Amino acid sequence: MSDDEAKKSAPFDEPRWLAGFEKETGTPPVATSPHGAPARNPLYTARDGVALSESDTTPGAAPFTRGAYFSMYTGRPWTVRQYAGFATARDSNRFYRDNLARGQTGLSVAFDLPTHRGYDSDHERARGDVGKAGVAIDSIEDVAVLFDGIDLGAVSVSMTMNGAVLPVLGAYFALAAERGNPPQRLRGTIQNDILKEFMVRHTYIYPPAPSMRITADVIAECSAHYPKFNPVSISGYHMQEAGATAVQELAYTIGNGLAYVEAALAAGGAVDDFAPRLSFFFGVGMDFFTEVAKLRAARRLWAELVRERFAPSRESSLRLRMHCQTSGVSLTAQQPLNNVVRTTVEALAAVLGGTQSLHTNSFDEALALPSDRAATVARNTQLILRHETDVCETVDPLGGSYLIESLTDSMVAQARQLLQEVDAGGGMVAAIESGLVQRRIARAATERQVRLERGNDKLVGVNLYVSSDEREPEIRRIDNAAVLAEQRQRLERLRAMRDQRAVDESLGRLRHVAESGEGNLLRASIDCMAVRATVGEVSAVLEELWGRYMPKDNNVTGVYSAGFDADPKWAALRARVDTFEARQGRRPRLLVAKLGQDGHDRGAKLIASGFVDAGFVVDLAPMFRTPEEVAKIAIDHDVHAIGISSLAGGHETLVPRLLGALRDAGAADIAVVCGGIVPAEDRQALIEQGVADVFVPGTPVLDCIDRVLNVLSGEVA
């Protein structure tokens, strides 16, 4: 045998290969993943994988690393869902029925922001948001239209509802009873994950303590009477959308789940009575192998911690079942057809990670609610994966991969470290109330944005291979005025035809349950909705007792200054701010605000962080303000400009109201700029109405600072 042949047949020498890797390639043998995931080696071998225990090699057995069920997709494929809801219940019903006929196997309902926040559509604070980012639901009559022609006992229904969970779920259960569906037949999931709302999404209503009581009562009622209905969907998805790393999403989602178990036990429940019906909801981003490992790690971590802390007697109490949704934050307004590829990659990661159901985002959702064409492509993405690939033929096909097993172990270990920090601070509720978790996520989001702007993280069409001639696709538009008028008419008819005495009595009983602590809040809410009380009326009864919660600011600073410290463009911007101060006698002052009921504040916080670091004085307006209230804040704070962040389509009606309020107050000299999900045709309309500049999604914060300085200096961009 020749020397060359001997070398080829010799065992692979790991240490020597790794030691020579940097010399040969110029790359160190341990690198950091670009998405804030655990460190990544360029090569994985047997020494990187921890040997699995005998139970951990078997899907369907605790700790379920390889799958929640033994046969997984070989026995039953994942449920194909499309998260949808827009305008009126009638419009959404048409969409649901069409998709069920074309292969969708479950419904996921998106509600508009006023419904989330417990306002009827005719409430003053609801005006600009009705029907814009989901379906408007005011009563059981709207729910009846929403599910017209759909057998509630035959279809699994998932509802993303948290703040107004009592009247919305109450209306659903009341309608099912009216249609003759026994509680034991109903299948589905209510999100009911209020801790996540306090952390990142902000569609809460009441303070944490009574909100946790609501969650516990929903768990108790469903466990007792709706055995196939999941009473909580513990959601990491919105954490990822807010900028959390994969490890943060994993740890804080599991931490919230543990807090709900503790709350249900404190209310008198037994862990084995409700734990098997808890479900989880994860986002799936573009770091493919990390996302696969995250889902596997979630199952293992949940099983281990539930066993350690609560000692259930049933193995099913340790099983983590999940729904997944492809990332919304990875979607780009630039070259939107690229999003089809991104969604496909993310959907495959969710499947290889072992999800029980999946929603795929549409390619145009960085611009508006998905069009019918885009939604069809998104749904068919799942159907192609299911029917045209072999992903359903093998359970956990990546199991045993050195990379996947090492990442899974690493994520479990790092998540445990984050949970130890939370436990040291008094648990998840205390960590949220102190702002610890929010600050951790906000910093991760800002660091990610800086990496993007510096070009360290690549995004095709945004900071790599940018095209200037891309045209936006046709988008879905919602006529807010028409939806608002229709919902007001429906409410007027409802109030005229119902038995007002029965409504008043049912609301009185709900108030008694809330005040006394005796009885179940969901049970009382079902009774209210059955006699035609409205979402707003049920919510108002509890708001009178508990008040509406207002969050604390948890903005971070210093990330942009550190990230761009040696960048000449950053130095030039800081110099321009200094020049402005020298000329004006004070630094430029910016009010960053969201209008209406939109609580998605990642963009607003990123802007605030960047502008503060650049030398601006920045005020963050309280959440959920009307345009008139924001105008007053701007005048009282004597700001030079107002920056409006829009994600839910409310800019069409709310920004013109803000401009009008400023004019009426004699403050038209305060410049207004707008950024976020603003379609091209809306941008021009806003400019014509008096907005000084509009920033498209993905605009670098440094460019935003430059352009705002141009506005304040009277320069043309």
Is residue 227 predicted with pLDDT exceeding 80?
yes
510-538 pLDDT per residue, tens: 999 999 999 999 999 999 999 999 999 99
pLDDT over 80 (residue 100): yes
Q: Would you call 260 a catalytic residue per the annotation?
A: no
Between 95-99, 301-305, 493-497, the lowest mean confidence (pLDDT) is in: 95-99
* pLDDT tens sequence across 303-345: 999 999 999 999 999 999 999 999 988 998 889 999 999 999 9
DSSP string, 116-175: HTT--TTSGGGGGGTTTSSB---SHHHHHHHTTT--TTTSEEEE--STTHHHHHHHHHHH
Alpha-carbon distance 706 to 573, whole Å?
7
Residue-level pLDDT at 639? 97
Evaluate if residue 35 carries a pLDDT over 60: no
Per the omega criterion (within 30 degrees of 0), is the bond before 63 cis?
Answer: yes
Secondary structure string (H, E, C) spanning 408-421:
HHHHHHHHHHHHHH
Rg (CA), the chain: 26
Q: How far is residue 12 from each of residues 8, 45, 46, measured CA to CA in Å?
A: 9, 10, 11
Annotation says 202 is catalytic: no
Q: What is the pLDDT of residues 191-206, one digit of tens each?
A: 999 999 999 989 999 9
Please say if 35 is a catalytic residue.
no
pLDDT at 43 over 90: no
- CA dist 399 and 408 (Å) reads 10
Contact 277, 288 (CB under 8 A): no
Q: Mean pLDDT, to the nearest integer, of 244-261?
A: 96
pLDDT at 599: 83
What's residue 529's pLDDT?
A: 98
- CA dist., res. 255 & res. 669, Å (int): 48
177 within 8 A of 414, measured Cβ to Cβ: no
Does residue 182 carry a pLDDT above 90? yes
Is residue 703 part of the annotated active site? The answer reads no
Q: Per-residue confidence at 301, pLDDT binned at 50, 70, 90? A: very high
User: pLDDT class for 107, splitting at 50, 70, 90?
Assistant: confident
Q: Given pLDDT bands bounded at 50, 70 and 90, which one contains residue 552? A: confident
Catalytic residue of the set 132, 196, 238, 323? 238
Among 600, 605, 640, 651, the one annotated catalytic = 600
Contact 590, 648 (CB under 8 A): no
Scored b (16 or more CB within 10 A) or e, 318-345 reads bbbbbbbbbbbbbbbbbbbebbeebbbb
Residue 600 annotated in active site: yes
Please pick, among 598, 613, 682, 693, the residue that the annotation labels catalytic: 598
The residue written with tokens 């899907």 in the block is 59
pLDDT band of 51, cuts 50, 70, 90: low
Asked if residue 20 has pLDDT above 60, the reply is no
Question: Which residue among 69, 73, 237, 560 is the active-site one?
Answer: 237
For 165, residues 6+ apart whose C-beta sits below 8 A from its C-beta are 190, 191, 192, 194, 214, 215, 218
Q: Catalytic annotation on 83? A: yes
E strand or H helix that includes residue 572: helix 568-584
Residue 475 has pLDDT above 70, yes or no: no
> What does the pLDDT look like over 339-369, one tens digit per residue?
999 999 999 999 999 999 999 999 988 877 7
pLDDT at 7: 41
Least confident of 535-549, 589-603, 629-643: 589-603
Average pLDDT value for the chain: 89
Using CA atoms, how far apart are residues 322 and 376, in angstroms rounded to an integer?
23
Q: Which of 73, 83, 119, 206 is catalytic?
A: 83
